[in-house]
Amino acid sequence: MSLFSRLFGGSSQTQDAEPQTYNGFEIIAEPIREGSKWRVAARIEKDVNGEAKVHELIRADTLDDEPSAIDVSISKAKQMIDEQGEGLFR
């Protein structure tokens, strides 16, 4: 369970979503269960100059089912990669 899940009382009991590679970044969807809803969340990783970098993406958006939350989490992660690239890790 991630730090944010523990802080906000959620549980990241997600299906084992397959990591996706996008423009050299690895995206791992990790929606957070909050009651009957799923909060959009993902981990974005990349090796930058030999150092593993990680960005935790947690959005305010919630969805009714986990598969939809996984799809939206991946979509939002791709959007952030397109907008910020390696600037995500600053």
- Helix/strand/coil (H, E, C) string of 42-83? EEEEEEECCEEEEEEEEEEEEECCHHHHHHHHHHHHHHHHHH
In angstroms, rounded to a whole number, what is the distance separating the alpha carbons of residues 68 and 90? Answer: 29
pTM: 0.81
- Can you give the pLDDT at residue 17? 77
Helices vs. strands in the chain: H and E counts, helices first: 2, 5
Contact 42, 28 (CB under 8 A): yes
How confident is the model over 17-41, as a mean pLDDT? 96
pLDDT in tens, 36-79: 999 999 999 999 999 999 999 999 999 999 999 999 999 999 99
Q: How does the average pLDDT of the chain come out, rounded?
A: 88
